[in-house]
């Protein structure tokens, strides 16, 4: 394992030190392990809080700022944060209008955010939760943990953040987040496994000419393994897989996210985006907005995920609203 770390045990603390140094516009509470906007809380504003394991940067700390999150709670690498962190984030950002959690659908994240919501409720703070579950590699079934939350998290946090910025109530903010999630589907392909610092070696062995299809963002193997093929074949299959779980018809518009998993160069991501755009054009589906880059990563995993969000005028307007965070910013 070659990594720029001090010790596996101090990775999170050392990363927080770096975030604090790089972003004086954010407040990094290293003891509580919470990153929040400076000047919080803002009276009367719904606080949008998210979090999850570290190793997915820029998710979530990179999306803290005006127009998006009020606070982020980073857990240990690939491990959800603990309820104490979310409670500290709630206390730091609650402006009296309630709190909305954005939670990716993983058992650990769900349980810890649930416990945190109970603790906040005991303090008289109303918490609503938006569960993100966009990954079509996993069957949505009551007999399993259900679909995973992946790339759509960015879309959910962006539109819910924009609405919260305009002064909407907690119910409306949660509602638009749920709508963005319901309109989103994602699928990911890995070319290499991720190496968790504490484990010291890749999560799975992958021969040089093989790929894992249908991976999540925690280094776990995917749905199946197959030979690497030219990008146009692979991307065509990924697009078909996402569309098969969508209700998109010719004439529809989407927000398209071609997301790197951490170890893939941007040139490959643009190549993939070109293939995605061509496939969607064939289907008569227009890409209204796009993002190409590393937004929801899986440490050093090579590969990409595709997220398509069915767009409507309200979602597009919220998407276009100004945002000023380390990883997403436009005006």
Partner 1 sequence: MPYALDHDFALAWLRATAAAVEQQHQRLTELDAAIGDGDHGTNLRRGFAAVLAVVDALPADTPPGELLSKAGSTLISKVGGASGPLYGSALRTAGRALPAPTADLTALAEGLRAGLTAVQKLGGATVGDKTMVDAFEPAVAALERAAFDGFSLREATALAAEAAEAGARATVPLEARKGRASYLGPRSVGHQDPGATSTALLFRALAEAAPR
Residues recognised as catalytic: 56, 218
Stretch that binds partner 1, among 175-183, 193-201, 265-273, 323-331 (CB under 8 A): 193-201
5 binds partner 1 (CB under 8 A): no
Residue 285: exposure state from Cβ atoms within 10 A (0-12, 13-18, ≥19) = buried
Least CB distance to partner 1 at residue 64 (A) = 20
Nearer CB in complex with partner 1: 153/325: 153
Total count of residues recorded for the chain: 331
CB 75 to partner 1: min, Å = 5
Joined tokens for residue 119: 């603790």
Sequence-separated (6 or more) residues with CB below 8 Å from residue 283? 243, 248, 250
229 binds partner 1 (CB under 8 A): no
Answer whether 150's CB lies under 8 Å from 104's CB: yes
Question: Rule CB under 8 A: is residue 196 a binding residue for partner 1?
Answer: yes
- Helices vs strands, H then E, count in the chain: 8, 14
78 scored as a contact of partner 1 (CB under 8 A): yes
- The DSSP output letter for 242 is H
Residue 37 vs 104, nearer CB to partner 1: 104
138 binds partner 1 per the rule CB under 8 A: yes
Q: Which two tokens stand for residue 51?
A: 């979090």
Q: Which residue has the tokens 């079934």?
A: 141
Minimum CB distance to partner 1 smaller for 58 or for 149: 149
Chain residues in the site for partner 1 (CB under 8 A) = 8, 53, 75-84, 106-108, 111-112, 114-115, 137-139, 143-145, 148, 196, 198-199, 203-204, 216, 218-221, 223-224
């Amino acid at each position: 394992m070659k990594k720029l770390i001090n010790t596996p045990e101090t990775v999170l603390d050392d990363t927080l030190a770096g975030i604090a140094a790089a972003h004086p516009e954010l407040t990094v509470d290293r003891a509580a392990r919470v990153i929040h906007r400076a000047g919080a809380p803002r009276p009367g504003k719904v606080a949008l809080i998210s979090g999850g394991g570290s190793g997915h940067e820029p998710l979530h700390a990179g999306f803290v700022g005006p127009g998006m999150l009020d606070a982020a709670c980073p857990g240990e690498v690939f491990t959800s944060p603990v309820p104490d962190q979310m409670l500290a984030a709630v206390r730091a950002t609650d402006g009296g209008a309630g709190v909305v959690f954005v939670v990716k659908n993983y058992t650990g994240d769900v349980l810890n955010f649930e416990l945190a919501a109970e603790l906040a409720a005991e303090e008289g703070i109303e918490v609503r939760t938006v569960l993100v579950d966009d990954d079509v590699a996993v069957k949505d079934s009551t007999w399993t943990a259900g679909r995973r939350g992946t790339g759509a998290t960015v879309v959910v946090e962006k539109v819910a953040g924009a609405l919260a910025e305009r002064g909407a109530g907690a119910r409306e903010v949660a509602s638009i987040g749920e709508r963005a999630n319901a309109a989103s589907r994602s699928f990911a392909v890995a070319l290499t496994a991720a190496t968790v610092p504490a484990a010291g070696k890749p999560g799975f062995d992958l021969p040089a000419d093989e790929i894992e299809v249908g991976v999540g963002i925690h280094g776990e193997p995917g749905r199946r393994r197959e030979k690497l093929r030219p990008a146009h074949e692979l991307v065509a299959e990924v697009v078909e897989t996402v569309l098969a779980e969508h209700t998109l018809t010719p004439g529809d518009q989407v927000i398209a996210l071609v997301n790197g998993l951490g170890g893939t160069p941007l040139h490959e991501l643009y190549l993939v985006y070109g293939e995605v755009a061509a496939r969607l054009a064939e289907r008569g589906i227009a890409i209204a907005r796009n993002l190409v880059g590393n937004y929801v990563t899986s440490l050093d995993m090579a590969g990409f995920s595709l997220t398509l969000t069915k767009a409507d005028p309200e979602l597009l307007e919220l998407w276009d609203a100004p945002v000023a965070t380390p990883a997403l910013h436009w005006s």
